[in-house]
């Protein structure tokens, strides 16, 4: 059997440690539970929405080109250098990796701490046999979880869409989506999160007095909300 | 037994593997999130039929292979409201620089894998990235171990060639 080159081994070794971003992973879980009609779906989706709102889109928009060069140049220098670059805490100041290219680079600390909570894939030695393999091959139009799913997954989707707009500087779009949300789900399970996002959008748009008014209302309605700090901070930044 | 709870537990344990594998088997963008859902929806509907003859991981990987292949066949382009800009794989190390490099390594690997032929790609992903044994792959894919070895050999050769191309391109850009 031909073995892989050292460069390939190092590359694969690093790639093996990548996974979904914490936010994508949690969003997937909420959507799954909502689709399954789990009793805890509302809670799950709410947790996700909070995570999204609190953490922004952790792991999104990850820079490619500059780190790519670092990695590939490392390969040119030989495997030990590359291993050192990948494995060890850098002894020299890190290159200004990717920040100019991607202001929204993942905060890996956030990702990994979130993932530390999440479980690791289990590895076991198994005399494998795949039951029902053939039955599963039929192309019976695998159902997407949101087809006919309860409104919760639509709520989550709408809020995620607003959050995305907010994250990409389209506060007006976010505000319109949140207005749609308010009309569609006046008693929605995620209305607290939607209200928080709305305040962020208002402040982002420079509508400070409205934002402030809603912030006060938000804080008295949800005094213990994990979103309150974020909401307050965003509006302060906006009012400078 | 509360099925949603069991599926949620399986999601906790295997979501990372499912996510990685689907991406590396060629599902991307909006489709990736949908495909992850599909895998676990199938897991849910087949849970009662799962026999303890294989590990859960192998069983789920079998479902992943089929879902990925369905997506490739259909070349599904479905508009989804769900945001997908963080659908890519990201590094998980605590050290930010390491994590950034893992993210980048993942992206390079995906680019190279995209050029591999499907059969070889599946074998390569299972063995080199998810660390299944050749025997497990053979059983999952319904192949002989010899065929698995032969596909792996070709896949490795293709992967090396792809890596060379990526490096050459990168060098060129740096000039």
Whether the CB of B143 is below 8 Å from some CB of chain A: the reply is no
Average pLDDT along chain B: 86
DSSP string, A123-188: --------TTHHHHHS---PPPTTTT--HHHHHHHHHHHHHHHHHTT-HHHHHHHHHHHHHH-TT-
Chain B residues closer than 8 Å to A158 by CB: 81
The span from the CA of A101 to the CA of A109, in Å, is: 19
State pLDDT tens for residues A160-184. 888 888 878 888 999 999 998 888 8
The torsion of the CA quartet A145, A147, A152, A158, rounded to 10 degrees, works out to 100
At B113 the pLDDT is 95
Structure tokens at A138: 């039929």
In this prediction the pTM is: 0.53
Contacts of A126 in chain B (CB under 8 A): 54-55, 57-58, 136
Residue A114's SS3 state is: helix
Residues of B in contact with A137 (CB under 8 A): 66
Split at pLDDT 50, 70, 90, the class of B86 is low
At A152 the pLDDT is 66
Contact list in A for residue B93 (CB cut-off 8 A) is 17, 108, 112
Percent of chain B with pLDDT over 90: 53
Q: What is the pLDDT of residue A93?
A: 39
Task: List alpha helices for chain A, DSSP H.
Answer: 6-16, 22-36, 41-55, 65-77, 79-87, 108-117, 133-137, 151-167, 171-184, 191-204, 208-221, 228-239
Mean pLDDT by 10 residues, chain A (240 residues): 87 94 88 70 46 41 38 41 34 37 38 34 32 34 41 75 83 90 80 84 85 83 69 59
pLDDT tens digits for range B128-158: 999 999 999 998 888 999 999 999 999 999 9
Q: Is B128 on the interface with A (CB under 8 A)?
A: yes
Size of interface A-B (CB pairs under 8 A): 305
Q: Do B100 and A105 touch (CB under 8 A)?
A: yes
Q: Looking at the complex, does the CB of residue A91 fall below 8 Å from at least one CB of chain B?
A: no
């Amino acid at each position: 059997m031909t073995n892989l080159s050292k460069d390939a081994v190092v590359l694969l070794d690093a790639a093996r440690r990548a996974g979904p971003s914490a936010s994508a992973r949690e969003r997937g879980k909420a959507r799954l539970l909502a689709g399954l009609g789990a009793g805890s779906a509302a809670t799950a989706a709410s947790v996700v929405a909070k995570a999204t709102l609190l953490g922004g889109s952790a792991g999104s928009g990850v820079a490619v080109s500059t780190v790519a060069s670092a990695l590939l140049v490392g390969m040119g220098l030989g495997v030990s250098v590359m291993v050192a670059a990948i494995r060890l805490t850098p002894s020299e100041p890190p290159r200004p990796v990717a920040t100019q290219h991607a202001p929204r680079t993942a905060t890996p600390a956030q990702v990994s701490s979130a993932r530390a909570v999440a479980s690791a894939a289990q590895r076991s030695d198994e005399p494998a046999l795949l039951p029902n393999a053939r039955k599963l091959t039929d192309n019976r139009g695998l159902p997407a979880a949101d087809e006919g799913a309860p409104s919760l997954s639509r709520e989550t989707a709408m809020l995620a869409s607003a959050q995305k707009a907010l994250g990409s500087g389209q506060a007006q779009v976010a505000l319109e989506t949140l207005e749609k949300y308010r009309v569609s789900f006046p008693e929605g399970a995620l209305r607290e999160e939607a209200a928080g996002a709305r305040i962020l959008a208002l402040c982002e748009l420079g509508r400070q007095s409205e934002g402030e008014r809603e912030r006060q209302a938000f804080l008295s309605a949800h005094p213990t909300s994990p979103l309150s700090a974020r909401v307050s901070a965003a509006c302060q930044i906006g009012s400078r | 037994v509360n099925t949603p709870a069991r599926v949620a537990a399986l999601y906790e344990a295997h979501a990372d593997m499912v996510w990685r594998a689907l991406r590396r088997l060629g599902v991307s963008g909006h489709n990736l999130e949908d495909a992850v859902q599909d895998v676990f929806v199938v897991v849910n509907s087949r849970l009662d039929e799962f026999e303890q003859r294989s590990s859960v991981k192998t069983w789920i990987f079998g479902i992943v292979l089929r879902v990925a292949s369905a997506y490739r066949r259909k070349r599904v382009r479905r508009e989804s409201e769900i945001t997908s800009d963080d659908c890519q794989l990201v590094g998980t190390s605590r050290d930010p620089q390491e994590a950034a490099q893992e993210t980048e390594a993942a992206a390079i690997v995906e680019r190279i894998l995209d050029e591999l032929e499907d059969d070889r790609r599946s074998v390569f992903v299972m063995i080199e990235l998810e660390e299944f044994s050749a025997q497990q792959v053979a059983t999952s894919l319904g192949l002989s171990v010899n065929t698995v070895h032969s596909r792996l050999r070709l896949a490795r050769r293709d992967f090396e060639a792809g890596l060379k191309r990526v490096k050459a391109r990168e060098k060129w850009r740096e000039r």
